Structure 1
Amino acid sequence: MTTQPLTLTRPQKAAAILVAMGKVSAGRLLKFFKQEELKNLIEAARLLRTIPQADLERIVAEFEAEFTEGAGLLDSADKMDSILNESLSPEEVSAIMNGKQPEASPDGPPPIWPELEKLDPARLGAFLAGEHAQTSAMVLSKLAPQASAAVLLTLEKPLRSEIIKRMVTMATVPEAAEKLVTDQLRARVLAETSVKDTSAGQARVASLLNELDKPQLDEMMKDLEEAGTPDLEAVKARIFSFDDIPLLTQKARVSIFDGLSSEVVTLALRGAAPDLAEAVLSAIGARSRRMIESELGQPADGIPAAEIARARKLVAATTIRLAREGVFELPSAQPSADAA
């Protein structure tokens, strides 16, 4: 006697496949469903009981998926409830089943995102590095592009790629889920920052000082030391000028000049001291070095001093960025014996 196949609605079929996938995989997928779709899935799953193996295989084939295991599904409603409870917060589940979005308190705190954009990117990056990539993607998608990019650059490349991938495919985040994340950010990032973290101020001062020429910078640092400026060592660790190139290790210099054009390097070396020029040229390939030395052998008449200064600041800015990414340390942050 041939058993008639089950007749299931599309939501029931989708619920069956999610249950077959297991809690971990299904939990990841649930984050991408719209609220109405989640409600339909929950309601469909609660009507499911035992699904014979043959019917499960037929459903899977319709969705063009591959399953290596299949023992029939028992108590699908209970399993779907378990998946939902482990993947979504009680507020999200309640909001979905009540058919409405969670309401935000009109007297609640102001948006958190402008405050996060003011933080040192490395500080926010350190926090997000310990969070799930999906959470990090949600946070960065809320920030201004410039701030988001600055934070991404502080993260390890594999994590950075995973977060960007999730940002591309991210759907609308339920308000309840967003509130849970922002509450944690207020408690664990902003609250601590307001009391202890002065890195943002250090970064601002270092950025200002990095705009000065070497003589002006040395004079300013001397004045700050005499005035007993707090956290001055932390500020020094963020300062770098083109004249400090010889203090870097050979490996660090190679990293810097590998990404700069020969035109920028040639401009930056115009009028440079011999030891500074050698520190730069020794970090460049033989062919490029010959080209640059040939250019430097030509008269520098007509080249504005402002262009030379601009090229040197570009080299310094590249150095600071690479140090911030952890490629190497600036000379003020490493023992002098490390310098080559």
Structure 2
Amino acid sequence: MTTALVNLTRAQKAAAILVAMGKPSASRLLKFFKQEELKALIEAARLLRTIPQGDLERIVAEFEAEFTEGAGLLDSGDQMDTIMNESLSAEEMDAIMGNGKKVAGPQGPPPVWPDLEKVEPERLGKFLASEHPQTSAVILSKLAPSVAANVLLALEKPQRGDIIRRMMSMTTVPEAATRIVENQLRTRVLSEGAKKDISVGQTRVASLLNEMDKSQLDEVMQDLEQTGVSDLDGIRARLFSFDDIPLLAQKSRVVLFDGLSTELVTLCLRGASPEITESVLSSIGARARRMIEAELGQEVDGISAAEVTKARRSVASTAIRMSLEGAFELPSTQHAA
């Protein structure tokens, strides 16, 4: 072992291996280093000189890594600068090297995660499918569990397993790495979504229409068709009223009413048609059904039509929310397919 090799620090040895790997492979690895580690690597690389091939092989063996190419290293500091400059933005380099500039500091942009949770799971899943599994794991760990679950289901099974394993073993993600991921999401997902993703607007319009009576809703939809409004199918897929309960599949009705109180269900069914009443009662347990039927068989004073309407809209809103979460499909969605 040469004297030069003995005098190399661990940071210099790590920098030598990264330079030997080349820019594509090294760039992917650099994303998983902490900020202070990246700074140490850059400073160490700038102190390196020519490393003979024999010494390089000993370094690789010491780090228990695989290395097969047989070239010595020249100008390691310059090559490390090239790798870093091509992998990170100028602001990120300044943050790592402590040059006085900070990325996404107190005056920077807000976190992307609330906006990212509004992106359709299929579109976000398509984006993650082309990313490194570790990056996908970081992103999903930042999302609400219900959102992350739907995105996972949009991925292929092998990808799901790999990402879940990485999420289980993940420790604290360095702040600098999180900022890099956030910047990429703003550029590649959210900015594109602002132009192309109209689901937020469709949901907003559908929410207004769902507050209308059936006759009013039909009239407005006819007006929209006559005026040539586009993407009406997207709005229809988000329309649902209490009167549409019989159109839901039996399994979907069971899922819907499983989490609703008997008081709310009883109030909804007051004055309902026999068809709707049976559709609801056939979707709940026998004990709850007997209780509700007993309540409906008694005359109760003091319940206004407005209270019944409010309760029915609450059930409809729950159905819409659950369908958007992927629990089941609304009848309008099924018909559109």
For the criterion TM > 0.5, the same-fold answer is yes
Measured against aligned partners, the alpha-carbon deviations of 1:139-192 in whole angstroms (never above 9, x if no partner) come to: 996xxx8xx7886575234769959948963523587876565444576333x2
Give how far 1:293 is off.
1.6
Match of 1:221 in 2: 218
- Counterpart of 2:266 in structure 1 is 267
Which residue of the other structure, out of 284, 287, 290, is the alignment partner of 1:291? 287
User: 2:70 & 2:308 partners in 1: Cα distance?
Assistant: 72
Q: Does 1:169 align with 2:173?
A: yes
Number of the residue aligned with 2:151: 155
- Residues matched between the structures, number: 305
CA–CA distance in 2 between the matches of 1:177 and 1:155?
17
Give 1:79 shift.
12
Indicate the residue corresponding to 1:322 in structure 2. 322
SS in 2 for 1:238: coil
**What is the deviation of 1:206?**
1.1
Residue in 1 that maps onto 2:87: 88
- What amino acid maps onto 1:207 in structure 2? S
Aligned-partner Cα distance in 1 for 2:171–2:193 = 22
Post-superposition offset of 1:327: 4.7
**For the structure 1 residues 42 and 103, does the alpha-carbon distance in structure 2 shift closer, same or farther, using more than 3 Å as the test?**
closer
Go from structure 1 to structure 2 and tell me whether the alpha carbon gap of 1:219 and 1:52 turns closer, same or farther (over 3 Å shift): closer
Letter of the 1:222 partner, please give it: E
Alignment of 1:58-137 (within 5 A): 59-60=62-63, 67=64, 69=66, 75=72, 77=76, 81=80, 84=83, 88-89=87-88, 91=90, 95=94, 99-100=98-99, 117=115, 121-123=118-120, 126=123, 129-131=126-128, 132=131, 134=135
Secondary structure in structure 2 of the residue aligned to 1:201? helix
CA-based RMSD of the aligned residues comes to 5.1
Question: Per-residue CA shift, 1:186-230, capped at 9, x if unaligned?
Answer: 76333x24xxx6543322121122234xxx242243145246452
Flag the 1:96–1:12 CA change in 2: closer, same or farther, 3 A.
farther
- Cα separation, 2, equivalents of 1:27 and 1:256: 48
Equivalent position SS for 1:130: helix
User: What's 2:250 paired with?
Assistant: 250
Going from structure 1 to structure 2, the CA distance change for 1:188 and 1:128 (only over 3 Å counts) comes to farther
Find the counterpart in structure 2 of residue 205 from structure 1.
Answer: 205
Distance 2:20 2:287 in 1: 64
Classify 1:168/1:52 alpha carbon distance in 2 versus 1 (closer, same or farther; 3 Å): closer
| Cα pair 2:122 2:151 within 8 Å, conserved | yes
TM-score, scaled to structure 2: 0.63
Q: Normalising by structure 1, what TM-score?
A: 0.63
**Structure 1's 177 and 273: CA in aligned 2 closer, same or farther, altered over 3 A?**
closer
Equivalent residues of 1:202, 1:234 under 8 A apart: yes
Alpha-carbon distance, 1:6 to partner: 2.5
Q: Which of 189, 193, 197 is matched with 2:193 structurally?
A: 189
Partner residue, 1:63: none
- Percent identity, aligned pairs only, is 34
- How far 1:281 moved relative to its partner? 3.8
In the TM superposition, what is the alpha-carbon distance from 1:291 to its structure 2 partner?
0.8
2:246/2:275 contact within 8 Å kept: yes
Post-superposition shift, 1:241? 1.5
SS of aligned partner of 1:275: helix
The one-letter amino acid of 2:331's match is P
CA separation in 1, counterparts of 2:327 and 2:82?
A: 42
- AA in 2 matched with 1:296: I
Tell me what 1:277 maps to.
Answer: 277
CA distance in 1, matches of 2:302, 2:6: 82
Q: Secondary structure at the match of 2:294?
A: coil
Distance 1:17 1:268, change over 3 A: farther
CA–CA distance in structure 1, aligned partners of residues 172 and 184 of structure 2 = 22
Q: Distance in 2 between matches of 1:125 and 1:101?
A: 40
220-229 vs 158-167, which moves further: 158-167
Q: Deviations over 1:37-95 (max 9, x none)?
A: 313212324527354656555x54xxxxxx47467986464997499359714636864
Instruction: Work out the CA distance in 1 between the residues paired with 2:8 and 2:99.
Output: 27
1: distance between equivalents of 2:90 and 2:139? 18
Q: Is the deviation greater in 242-251 or in 12-21?
A: 12-21
Asked if the contact 1:26–1:83 (Cα under 8 Å) also holds between the matched residues in 2, the reply is no
Give, in whole Å, the separation in 2 of the partners of 1:297 and 1:303. 19
2: CA distance between counterparts of 1:226 and 1:70? 69
Tell me: CA distance 1:37–1:3, structure 2 relative to 1, closer, same or farther (3 Å): closer
